[in-house]
Chains A and B, each alone.
Chain A
Amino acid sequence: MDLLTHWLGNAPDFAVPFALAALGLILTERAGVLALGAEGLMLVGALAGIGMQLGVGVAGVSLLVAMVAAGAVSLLFALMVLVLRINQVIAGLALVFFCQGLTGLAGTVFGWTNRPVSGLNTVELWPLSELPLVGKIFVQNPLVYLTVLIFIAVVWFLYRTQTGLRLRAVGENPQAADAAGIPVLTYRLAAIVAGAALIGLAGAYIAVLSTKMWIADMTGGRGWIAVSLVIFARWSPWRALAGALLFGAIEALIPQLAATGVRLPQYFVLMTPYAVTLLVMIWVALGSRESASQPGALGEPFIREQRR
């Protein structure tokens, strides 16, 4: 019983990075830009957040700086795919490798590796936190609650504002959007930077609020899991949130199992998120033959002089 309470209470904490990263990816991919760089941008956010936390020590500032840092690095990606028209898969992979190298180097050169930082205190949502069994769900750090608000804001933006409609139009049919007078590349640039900021926030969450230190390559494939989560969610933010909770629950289960003293082979347990990702991908593929909900122009560069 105690195990269940702890597990439920920890799941949101593990789910938030997946949720924020997936939301950032959805924002970018809805504008028709295939964003494979999430793993790298998360590392940038994580390192920037830790650096700021070691220097200034105000978590809110660190998280903001992490968002700005990831947004700044994503300008390189934007340059590659929007201006130089590099294949978006190559550009995304190059961005991941670039960020892995950059953060590994910077973390060591600045001496930020393995130095613990203080995170954020938890906030109780009082009447709810007294509930039996599920009470622990409502004792979280402030960013967990903020994530819910961010989701509401992004969903409202995408589906209830004219700018959001235009952004989706750019992702569905950039030629038509262009003909309607929407500046396609500007929208895509904004979507890349805004998405990167959310992905950077996800990385900073892992480093500053969960692990509370920087270790090279600490995101451990969570960016890639977020990429597959978006496919699983068929580019819908709420389904992505549900998927993130699923993965958060799985990750939260790992330390809980260890605590109960059940003798499980440790490294097989550590494999589960990756194995589940693979199974989810297969399940999605089995479920729908045609991916109708994928943005129509995902991964295609917009080149005005090549009208179709």
Chain B
Amino acid sequence: MTDTTLPQPTVSTRQPLFGRRYTLETRQQMAMHWQALVIGLALLFGLAICALILVGAGVPAQELLNEFVVQTLFDAQNLRAVLFQAAPMIMVGLAGCMAFRARFWNLGLEGQMIWGAIGATAISLFDIGPHALRLPLMMLTAMLCAMLWTLTPVLLKLHLKVNEIISTLMLNYIAANFLLHLVYGSWKDPRDNFPYSPPLQSFERLPDFLAGYNVAILMALVITAITLWFVGISRAGLYLRFVDANPRVAGAVGVPVRKMIVATVLLSGALAGLAGFVVTAGQEGRLTQSFYQGYGFSGILIAFLARNNPVAATVVALLIALLFVAGRNLQVFYQIPFSMVQLIQAILVICVASSDFFIRHRMRRIQAGDC
């Protein structure tokens, strides 16, 4: 620049705004605490938008904190409801994590839940096995049925490269119609006119371990621990990280890539089936026509927000369960439709996904004259 004998570079002929320009560049790495701050700000931004929508839909602004935090956490009945709701939520969240770790977009969580519930209900309806073993048997059948339902899309993807997003979604619709076929048809409770199966008997229902606290949440925590062991400690988990990082290199160093993917996705399906079992044997007490609605999306969302980490997924699932319970209360007290819960979740996902941009990029000021 100091050498005045050379002509000026052509860049300076452009008229920069206020003598400086900005450029966007990719950032190599951002410290963990800054990342946490950015994501936190994104969540706050999302929550602010949700609050605005809620107020617009008719919830008094001063009641928001009360409805979502005070009422749900400090009211014993609501807290029980949150924990009860959290059990299937944790399971579908973990199911999402497992599938994503195998790079498989499992949007079929709802269909797998349906098959889990159908399997469990079949054991009850056809009176299979001794009473003492009934619950474990229902659980196993639920997992098995859901796994079988998951086998089709994963094999189609591996062997024919059929897009799993579409195949799993289509299988959801098929499963949902089959469920309707059962609850409106041969499995309908003959005692009344509603589309549901006969109620499960008392020994087929998940018991409480404390007054009002269902054993389902303990099951969910045990499954979190098992999943954590699977992805963090076991050999399969190590292989899976290989496959996730680079399937071709993993194959080259001798990791059974296909087997790992199939096994992990089937596990994901089994977890979703278990969630179906928990809803049927825990909350509903019978096979109903729409018990699964909303779980598929929430499972994907939990896995995405938790970045496929089982412990984080459990925490996020608890928060989503809280949102569900608060959403039901809003439905009762303010006639806010339950779609609000889905809208809030979608806004949070969009905000957190957007925050990634600010983690991976930065603005840099260019002085007039330099490149």
Residues on A lying within 8 angstroms of B by beta carbon are 36, 76, 80, 83-87, 89-91, 93-94, 97-98, 100-105, 108-109, 216, 220-221, 224, 227-228, 231, 265-268, 270-271, 274-275, 277-278, 281-282, 285-286, 303, 305-306
Does B337 lie within 8 Å of A94, measured CB to CB? no
Bound-state Cα–Cα, A265 to B180, Å: 11
Looking at A103, A105, A216, A265, which has the most chain B CB atoms within 10 Å of its CB?
A105
Chain B residues 338 to 365 lying within 8 A of chain A, measured CB to CB, are: 338-347, 349-350, 353-354, 356-357, 360
Top 5 closest pairs, chain A to chain B, by CB: A104-B339, A101-B343, A101-B342, A267-B181, A285-B160
CB nearest to B343 among chain A residues? A101
CB–CB B181/A268 < 8 A: yes
Contact B24 A94 (CB under 8 A): no
Pair A306/B173 contact, Cβ less than 8 Å: no
B177 contacts partner chain A, Cβ-Cβ < 8 Å: yes
Q: How far, in whole Å, are A80 and B25 apart by their CA atoms in the complex?
A: 18
Q: What separation, in Å, do the CA atoms of A277 and B167 have in the docked complex? A: 8
With a CB–CB cut-off of 8 A, which chain B residues contact A275? Answer: 170, 174
Given the known interface contacts A109-B57, A285-B160, the answer about A267 and B177 at a Cβ–Cβ threshold of 8 Å is: yes
Say whether A98 contacts B340, CB under 8 Å. Answer: no
Q: Which residues of A contact B167 (CB under 8 A)?
A: 278, 281
Which residue on B lies nearest to A102, using beta carbons? Answer: B343
Q: Interface residues of B, CB < 8 Å — how many?
A: 51
Q: What are 12 of the A-B contact pairs (CB < 8 Å)?
A: A84-B356, A97-B342, A98-B347, A228-B163, A228-B166, A265-B181, A267-B177, A268-B177, A271-B174, A274-B174, A278-B166, A281-B156
Q: Which residue of A lies closest to B338 (CB)?
A: A104
* Beta-carbon contact of B174 and A80 below 8 Å: no
Across the interface, do B24 and A305 meet the contact criterion of CB distance under 8 Å? yes
What separation, in Å, do the CA atoms of A163 and B74 have in the docked complex? 61
Residue from B25, B344, B356 in contact with A86 in the complex, judged by beta carbons closer than 8 Å:
B356
Within B254-311, the residues touching A (CB, 8 Å) are: 297, 300-301, 304
Structural contact, A274 and B342, CB atoms closer than 8 A: no
Question: B170 touches which one: A108, A268, A274 (CB < 8 A)?
Answer: A274
In the complex, chain A residues whose CB is within 8 Å of the CB of B25: 305
Q: In the complex, what distance in Å separates the CA atom of A266 from the CA atom of B353?
A: 41
Chain A nearest CB: distance from B89 CB in Å? 16
* Given known contacts A90-B353, A94-B350, A281-B163, A224 and B340 CB-to-CB distance under 8 angstroms: no
Contact A98–B170 (Cβ < 8 Å): no
Residue of A nearest to B356 (CB): A86
Which chain B residues border A89 with CB–CB below 8 Å?
A: 105, 165
B357 touches A86 (CB 8 A): yes
Contact B166 A101 (CB under 8 A): no
User: In the complex, what residue of chain A is closest to B180 when comparing beta carbons?
Assistant: A267
Q: How far is the CB of A186 from chain B (nearest CB, A)?
A: 17
Known: A97-B301, A277-B170. 14 other contacts (CB 8 A): A86-B356, A97-B345, A98-B343, A100-B346, A101-B341, A104-B343, A108-B337, A221-B170, A274-B174, A274-B177, A281-B156, A282-B160, A285-B162, A305-B23
Q: Which residues of A contact B319 (CB under 8 A)?
A: none
